[in-house]
Structure 1
Amino acid sequence: FFPSELNLSGGQQNPPGSDSSLSRAAHTSVAVALGFILVLGILGNFLLLLVFSRYPGLRTPANLLLVNISVSDMLVCLFGTPLSFAASVRGRWLTGSYGCRWYGFSNALFGVVSLVSLSLLSFERYAMLLSGSQLSSSHYRRARLSVAFSWLYSLAWTSPPLLGWSSYGPEGPGTVCSVQWQRRSVTARSYIVCLFVFCLLLPLLLMFFCYGRILLAIKGVTRQSQAEGRILLMVVAMVTGYLLCWTPYGVVAMLASFGRPGAVPPAAALIPALLAKTSTVLNPVICVLLNNQFSRCFLDMISCSSEDSPADVSSSRSIWAQKMPTEEPNTNLALLPSTDHNIQIPVQV
């Protein structure tokens, strides 16, 4: 359930540099899949970050957290996926024990940042719903603190294996590394339980609570705007996509940790591991397609001329900036009255 591959087979480890039990064809297939994930993940997240950097008006509190997710996904693509791709091409781990530990730690760190950021994004939207006020400097300060918290929280829970509480090591077919879930010691299992509770269960509960409350509030709104519908669809799609990517991985991980040894063969274990890595590709796609601000800015950026731009998007950066929310209070924030609740729902348009 975390962005680093497991010893999903639960069997004998392959030391770094040794040949794995997978066939050459299986290694080639995995390498091709990882190659696509690597290219699409880097390209998608780079374009999203480029759009964000070129249009300062996009820097709303919620979008800052979306960018934090994109940064962590990009770092997975840069520092993790190339190592597993090269190992799959050669059929063995290539960077030794230190590279193995770095791979396991970095993938876990960046992945937990993404999951925690998703939960903080849900809290940010829920807090805006409760406040029912226009954007102010306090909202941006809270978003920046949330970004910093996501990194510090992830670092606190992914660094212990480097210090002796569990460990990072080679996994499954010998071409990936992660937390050694298959260890049966009390120390290793206590770390697994804590990681499950504090880095998966609690963030998911926070997301479900916040989005559940938002859904209940929206059901009582007399006139729901299209912008709010798109925002809600985007966050639900991101959470659903993340869960679809990581649920198979989490199930097999728990089998490796607490099931009988050898319950899952290495070849079958590669499928959920590859599904997990596709989360780095899905997030920027969902963001561009379902976030109206990002999509309009993206179309404007790639337009060759003003005539090719959408009617509601000017190719002039100065004019566009005037249409977007800035660091000042957002004058384009609509408030939707609720018939069932004594609250107002802020809608960014």
Structure 2
Amino acid sequence: MHKMRPDSKVQELPEDFYIPIPLDTNNITSLSPFLVPQTHLASPAVFMCMAAFMFVLMIAGFPINALTIACTVKYKKLRSHLNYILVNLAIANLLVATVGSFTAFYSFSNMYFRFGPLACKIEGFVATLGGMVSLWSLAVVAFERYLVICKPVGNFSFKSTHAIIGCVVTWVFSLIASVPPLFGWSRYIPEGLQCSCGPDWYTTNNKYNNESYVMFLFCFCFGLPFSVIVFCYSQLLFTLRSVAKAQEQSVSTQKAEREVTKMVVVMVMGFLVCWLPYASFSLWIVLNRGETFDLRLASVPSIFSKASTVYNPVIYVFMNKQFRSCMLKLVFCGKSPFGEEEDVSSQVTQVSSVSSSQVAPA
């Protein structure tokens, strides 16, 4: 078991990578993650398991997200304001699946980052950008549901223009978060088992100010969108609960509350499964300088975050009857394999089955 102690007595190439080096090794190039397999960090079996997992994410994430975009282009009925945000989420997921997941799969298969330092920076930037867009898109979806269902500002109509503005905001915020390492505030280097790239969590280098950047990411790109998601969905649940209580005899209202409760729990849990390990790991590294940790475990948060490319469309798209029906029609040439076509009048969540007047606060 090879463990790493951040900023311990190691040799380092500050511009390209950071890995622990045995004290009797004088030539750091001999262990470069860009030149040789990193079998000194873990056994080949570990690398192959990681490669297999990334392969699953790649072959599952690409078609799901590509279908989401293709269906929206083909079917006009899918071009609603909320679905614009889901397409934005699919574009971000597709970016991560095609660049991040593929690069990690190929690198784990070779047991080192074979593409070189420049590609590492590109992959780190693209994966970070796509991940941040995904995070902020989830927050925008939650905020849209809050505005439409809970009506905190009265009879506000969320239109396509608002959705487009929300999508633009996700990319602006994500660029603010992902561009700095390209210009000296932190840096993109191989992480964990050195087969995927991300921000430098490991070193305390005054030149890069890594610690401040990690704290910035944790607060701005995890804490803030997570707070928005929890607040908006909790308010949505409270609103639906009050409606259900006031209409105890209404079977449809009671059913809507149960469905929404289930979906909200799945959405929040999916968010935490994908992003909490990565956010917690980076924060732990910063707050526990000098503590040792297993490099194999350090790769787990990274691949879990990339798993959002599969979790998100399953939660937000496959649970949407509109998208599910259109996907089946597109894949099976206009015919559903399950016989009668599903009702495609519902919106993204079953909340929409309850009218706005029913769920408006008293």
2:127 to 107, 111, 115: 107
Q: Residue type matched to 2:239 in 1?
A: A
Is contact 2:129–2:174 with CA below 8 Å preserved after alignment? yes
RMSD: 2.9
Matched, 1:251 2:280: yes
Taking the aligned partners of 1:209 and 1:324, their CA distance within structure 2 comes to: 24
Q: Deviations 1:123-182 (Å, cap 9, x if unpaired)?
A: 1111112166585xx611110000011001100111011111111112222212111011
Q: How many Å apart are 1:56 and its aligned residue? A: 1.4
Alignment CA distance shift 1:115-1:142 (3 Å): same
* Corresponding residue of 1:191: 213
Is contact 2:256–2:354 with CA below 8 Å preserved after alignment? no
Alignment of 1:175-254 (within 5 A): 175-185=195-205, 187-221=209-243, 222=247, 223=250, 224=253, 230=259, 233-254=262-283
2:322 to 288, 293, 307: 293
Greater mean deviation of Cα atoms: 241-250 or 38-47: 241-250
Q: How many Å apart are 1:235 and its aligned residue? A: 4.9
Q: How many Å apart are 1:38 and its aligned residue? A: 0.6
Matched, 1:48 2:68: yes
Q: Residue type matched to 2:235 in 1?
A: R
Is contact 1:245–1:275 with CA below 8 Å preserved after alignment? yes
Taking the aligned partners of 1:163 and 1:198, their CA distance within structure 2 comes to: 19
Is contact 2:241–2:257 with CA below 8 Å preserved after alignment? no
* Corresponding residue of 2:93: 73
Taking the aligned partners of 1:282 and 1:112, their CA distance within structure 2 comes to: 15
Greater mean deviation of Cα atoms: 143-152 or 268-277: 268-277
Q: Residue type matched to 1:190 in 2?
A: S
Q: Deviations 1:235-269 (Å, cap 9, x if unpaired)?
A: 54233212112222322222222224452211222
Is contact 1:9–1:266 with CA below 8 Å preserved after alignment? no
2:138 to 93, 118, 127: 118
Q: Residue type matched to 1:106 in 2?
A: V
Taking the aligned partners of 2:272 and 2:311, their CA distance within structure 1 comes to: 12
Taking the aligned partners of 2:217 and 2:124, their CA distance within structure 1 comes to: 14
Taking the aligned partners of 1:200 and 1:9, their CA distance within structure 2 comes to: 25
Q: Residue type matched to 1:153 in 2?
A: F
5+ residue gaps, structure 2: 11-17, 20-31, 348-352
Provide TM-score, normalisation by structure 2. Answer: 0.79
Is contact 2:69–2:87 with CA below 8 Å preserved after alignment? yes
Is contact 2:237–2:260 with CA below 8 Å preserved after alignment? no
Q: Residue type matched to 2:215 in 1?
A: V
* Corresponding residue of 1:278: 307
Q: Residue type matched to 1:334 in 2?
A: S
Provide TM-score, normalisation by structure 1. Answer: 0.82
5+ residue gaps, structure 1: 1-6, 315-319, 326-331, 343-349
Is contact 1:8–1:172 with CA below 8 Å preserved after alignment? no
Is contact 1:230–1:291 with CA below 8 Å preserved after alignment? no
SS at structure 2 position matched to 1:22 = coil
Q: Residue type matched to 2:295 in 1?
A: P
SS at structure 2 position matched to 1:184 = coil
SS at structure 2 position matched to 1:78 = helix
2:185 to 165, 169, 183: 165
Greater mean deviation of Cα atoms: 191-200 or 124-133: 124-133
Alignment CA distance shift 1:307-1:31 (3 Å): closer
* Corresponding residue of 1:98: 118
Taking the aligned partners of 2:231 and 2:156, their CA distance within structure 1 comes to: 23
> Among the aligned pairs, what percent are the same residue?
29
Taking the aligned partners of 2:301 and 2:62, their CA distance within structure 1 comes to: 21
Q: Deviations 1:206-231 (Å, cap 9, x if unpaired)?
A: 11111111111111112427567656
Alignment CA distance shift 1:90-1:306 (3 Å): closer
Q: Residue type matched to 2:267 in 1?
A: M
Q: Residue type matched to 1:17 in 2?
A: L
Greater mean deviation of Cα atoms: 176-185 or 285-294: 285-294
Is contact 1:300–1:309 with CA below 8 Å preserved after alignment? no
Is contact 1:18–1:174 with CA below 8 Å preserved after alignment? no
Matched, 1:337 2:358: yes
Is contact 1:42–1:74 with CA below 8 Å preserved after alignment? yes
Structure with the bigger RCO (C-alpha within 8 Å, sep 6+) is: 1
Taking the aligned partners of 2:326 and 2:292, their CA distance within structure 1 comes to: 49
Q: Residue type matched to 1:105 in 2?
A: F
1:89 to 99, 109, 115: 109
Taking the aligned partners of 1:198 and 1:282, their CA distance within structure 2 comes to: 22
Is contact 2:190–2:197 with CA below 8 Å preserved after alignment? yes
